[in-house]
Amino acid sequence: MNPRINHRLILFPHPFQGHMNSTLQLGRILYARGFSITIVHTNFNAPDPTSHPHFAFRSIADGIDQSEASTSDIRGLLALLNVRCAVPFEECLQEMVSSQGGDAAPIACLISDSMFSFTCGVAERLKVRALVLRTGGAAFLYVATIFPVLKEKGYVPVLGSRSEEAVKEFPPLLVKDIPAVDPQKPEVMFRILDNLIEVIKNSFGVIINTFEELEHTDLASLREVLSVPFFPIGPSHKCCVTSSSSSLLVEDRSCISWLDEQPPKSVIYVSFGSLAAMSEAEILEIALGLADSKQPFLWVVRPESVRDPEWPQKSPSCFLEALEGRGKMVKWAPQKEVLAHPAVGAFWTHSGWNSTLESISEGVPMLCMPCFADQGVNARYVSDVWRIGVHLNGGLERENIARAIKRLLVEREGEEIRERALVLKEEASVCVGQGGSSYRALDALVSHILSFK
Ligand code: UDP
């Protein structure tokens, strides 16, 4: 732990789980470098202050009620948060700026999530420097910068289309990897990406949860196109000296003792993150595929991710039999610990960026089933660039699922994928150690912040 320095950082996380995790991890990293940390957060999905006793917390009244908080329309909720948070956030920051001078360390800068479109403007008005935290990968961010070109060339798919057409200007992406627009309101998607790029251009720098060795080419392109400093300090969960949980749901730790009973590298861990939802038919097909795979499985099923509250009692007998010992279901898992467990041999994921990076950090091969947003791009990099996973080809059907799981856990192809994954795991570990690329990026970030005064 570095000596305390007389500088306060204001961190403003986006209230979705993956974003919250990254922001609180960044807070812990910068606290360990001597900064004081204040987390300004929405009431919606508020973090638990008792898990972070060294931070100060200030909540803002976002006015989001239960009916509006549904994650079934994520783009709508993103837009609403940007509308509702702007004024209370400005008032909160204004108050903190005006009350400087007492015992609290002076504000060095604001670090806000890149999905908030108003924060750099607020910071400029209040004469506070603003950095942006990008919780996704560099490849997707680069795709966001070229979105107008993709749109012009007709590459942007509409919801539901699964076009295998190649994006010639950006191999190995396929059209289906690009975020899809709702044909009824295509402007919503375009606005989100435009705002993202604008916020970054208006910032004093971007802290990004990735590492040079993983995304060197896309980071270089971003630096050239956006002309702001980039600080790739990830995988941020591997840089934290302490490991307090930032889960918004209660972790069911019984899965760790269950994993202790399973043979090494035998278990398929299944989780589709904190936002993706499935129909009953899809959930049933997953259950049947897992039963058919004959491999042990640990499956996270969040209560909101399936519409039928009586599931899995209504599931077919072969699945319930599999649950008798070969399978385990939980509502929420301590995911990082699960991925680091020696029994876990593969991760069936929706390819959210945090999940992808957490899997890379433990050398766990991935079965990718991207759902929305950046996930298609992340999954394509996993399967075709880093070659540390496969896509679930042929659709969400029990035979395809069982075949894909065996490919990763039983067949020779799976071993080759694991060997490559272990090389990346080593690189991820080296980069956060003293002198590694992420460690140096963090040094550069600290110097950059200290140069603001
Ligand atoms: N996560 C977890 N327990 C679970 C499922 C997910 O702790 O049972 C965490 C996971 O470790 C990751 C985050 O939730 O940090 C999900 O973020 P990601 O970017 O992968 O997906 P999103 O939820 O944003 O779609």
**Helix 186-201 to helix 74-98 angle, to the nearest 10 degrees?**
30
| Residue range 140-168, pLDDT digits in tens | 999 999 999 999 999 999 988 889 999 99
- Separation of CA 374 and ligand 1 centre (Å): 14
Separation of CA 354 and ligand 1 centre (Å): 6
User: How long a stretch of residues is the chain?
Assistant: 453
For residue 211, which phi and psi values (nearest 5 degrees)?
Answer: -135, 150
Give, for ligand 1, the residue of 14, 16, 17 to mutate: max count of ligand atoms closer than 8 Å to Cβ.
17
Low-confidence ranges of the chain (pLDDT < 70): 1, 71, 241-244, 309, 311-313
Token reading at 9: 């950082």
Indicate whether residue 300 lines ligand 1 (CB < 6 A): yes
Nearest ligand 1 atom to the CA of 330 is 8
What is the per-residue pLDDT for 146? 95
For residue 243, what pLDDT is reported?
65
Strands 344-349 and 206-208 come out as: unpaired
Protein residue whose Cα sits closest to atom 11 of ligand 1: 335
CA of 95 to the centre of ligand 1 (A): 33
Report residue 20 as tokens.
């919250």
pLDDT tens by residue, 2-39: 777 889 999 999 999 889 999 999 999 999 999 999 99
pTM of the entire predicted model:
0.95
Q: Are 18 and 235 in contact (CB under 8 A)?
A: no
Per-residue confidence (pLDDT) for residue 244, from 0 to 100: 67
- Determine if ligand 1 sits within 6 Å of the CB of residue 275: yes
Residue 246, ligand 1, Cβ within 6 A: no
Q: State if residue 22 touches ligand 1 by the CB under 6 angstroms criterion.
A: no
**441's tokens:** 């990026």
Domains, the chain, with CATH or none: 8-246+431-450 (3.40.50.2000), 254-429 (3.40.50.2000)
Closest CA to 96 of 105, 86, 83: 105
Contact 360, 425 (CB under 8 A): yes
230 DSSP β-pair partners: 206
Q: What is the pLDDT of residue 249?
A: 82
| CB of 140 sitting under 6 A from ligand 1 | no
Nearest-angstrom CA–CA distance, 348 and 350 = 7
Write down the residue that tokens 């940007």 correspond to: 82
In Å, what is the CA distance from 131 to each residue of 108, 195, 452? 11, 15, 11
Q: CB-hemisphere CA count at 13 Å for 161?
A: 17
